[in-house]
Amino acid sequence: MATRNKDIQQKTEELITVEESKAPAQQPLAIPTDNPVAYPLELPQGEARLRTPAVGQRARRPDGRLHGLGQTQYIDDITFPHMLHAKILRSKYPHARIVSIDTSEAEKMPGVMATLTGAEIPENSFGPTYQDQPVLAYPIARHCGDGVAAVAATSEQLATEALEKIKVEYEPLPAVFDPLEALEKDSPKVHGGDTNIYTSKVIKKGDVEKALKESEHVFHRQFRTQMVEHVPLEPHASIASWDGNGRVTLWTSLGRITLGREDLSRTLKMPQSKIRLIGTVVGGNFGGKNEITTEPVLALLSKKSRRPVKLVFTRGDEFISSTIRHPFVMDYTTGVNNDGKILARKIRLVLDGGSYCSWTGTTIGKGSILAPGPYDIENVLVEAFAVYTNKTTTGAMRGFGAPQVCFAYESQMDDIAHKLGLDPLEIRLRNGFSENSLSPTSQTLQSVALKESLAQAAERFGWKENQA
């Protein structure tokens, strides 16, 4: 026993007498042979780490062993004693004022332990860029996936039945679904005010109007992409639980847990030191699990009921309530010469920004910068707008705006090649980035292998032979 007071230490050490252990010599542990869930206990081999250099060696994924055994614990695999199940009632209308919510019938049902509505959320707004999204919609619901009330009950089935007993009085409001319509002056305004545009970006390089006038051909086309849902195989799932110290713990499929904790601190009006967020292995994210969904709801239901509360999205919830990829409406005007050299590109991007901002800021930024394509173009104008619509919130999804614009600029390259009678590969080689090319934002690009890659790929799949 160590202490600063040497006298006390000496005295204590004198008092302690160590006796020889009389226990029998260590026996090896006998593993029962009738263990119903058996698996080998030797650790997976990590040979690569033993070798120097490890680069180039075959490595095993550290999670492979548990995945293969089915032992990986996803949130839905976790249960706690007395755990309740929550369900969320979603808005009946794509745009409506909530006049009243009556949860009394639901509360009377045996087994229903707590209900929650938007009015009860301490700070009912969150979001990675703008905090324009409510935890539970109140007083306005802005899309059919917007939650308006929640229940926690002793079983999922009971919770589902309890939702049917919640009476919500809505005053339907005019709604807007098409992003171009949302741009118009007299369109319904999803978040009030006099415009649905909530973020925009402009990238300007050179003089696009002048260069278009000087081009031998000008191509114009409008391209549209559709919504895409991530469909992670594991639905969103969370569990909330409070302890006697007034601290809430959440186990969640959320990817960005530090951001999530900030959001919880904000919405629950609690210091971060009282909030613990545990993210575990996730069954697929792809961008859709980058922000909180029901965590504050579960925290409050758990607080009210004094029991752990779990919610797992149904597959239907995944489609209407979790975030999706932004549909883009893209107008491309491109000026080229007879030899296929692009002189100017003017682009208007309209992002269908859904009902709330989510990760649109990143999407519009990335989409705008990549919109002209990997081509040397001296005169560029990109004007991008994200508009609110009364549809599912559009958020982060692998690519973040890149796939949409790629569809547009590559389709147009083919159009141009076809019209001018040029080889589609040739026109790309003629315009493509090289070492030290400037990006649309005038960044000098290095380690550019675009043309070499195209040429190699073309050779490998016999492009020239096919064209003949």
Binding site for other proteins (CB under 8 A): 31, 33, 35-41, 44, 60-61, 63-74, 76-77, 79, 157, 161, 230-235, 281-286, 312, 314-315
- Rounded to an integer, what distance in angstroms lies between the CA atom of residue 454 and that of residue 434? 12
CB of 248 to other proteins, least distance (A): 24
> Do residues 148 and 96 touch, judged by C-beta distance below 8 A?
no
Backbone angles phi, psi at 264, to 5 degrees: -70, -40
Least distance CB 74 / other proteins (angstroms)? 7
β 112-117/147-153 pair status: antiparallel
312 vs 343, beta carbon nearer other proteins = 312
* List of E strands, 36-111: 84-90, 96-102
Bridge partners (DSSP) listed for residue 239: 251, 310
Distance CA 409, CA 345 (A): 10
Most distant CA pair in the chain, distance: 100
Nearer to other proteins, 76 or 423 (CB): 76
The tally of CA atoms less than 13 A away on the side-chain side of residue 389 is 25
Non-local CB neighbours of 259 within 8 Å, separated by 6+ positions: 128, 290, 291
* Nearest distance, CB of residue 29 and other proteins, angstroms: 13
Closest to other proteins by CB, 147 vs 235, is 235
Residue 254 or 413 with smaller CB distance to other proteins: 254
Least gap, CB of 80 to other proteins (angstroms): 13
Nearer to other proteins (CB atom), residue 77 or residue 243: 77
What is the token pair recorded at 384? 């991008």
Whole-number Å distance between alpha carbons of 232 and 38: 30
Q: Whole-number minimum distance, CB 228 to other proteins, in Å?
A: 12
Minimum CB distance to other proteins smaller for 77 or for 339: 77
Q: How far is the CB of 452 from other proteins (least distance, A)?
A: 25
Closer residue to other proteins in complex, CB, 102/229? 229
* Angle subtended by helix axes 424-431 and 450-460, to nearest 10: 160
- Going along 118-208, which residue ranges are E strands? 140-141, 147-153, 167-172, 197-205
Integer Rg of the chain from CA:
29
Rounded to a whole number of angstroms, the minimum distance from the CB of residue 46 to other proteins is: 12
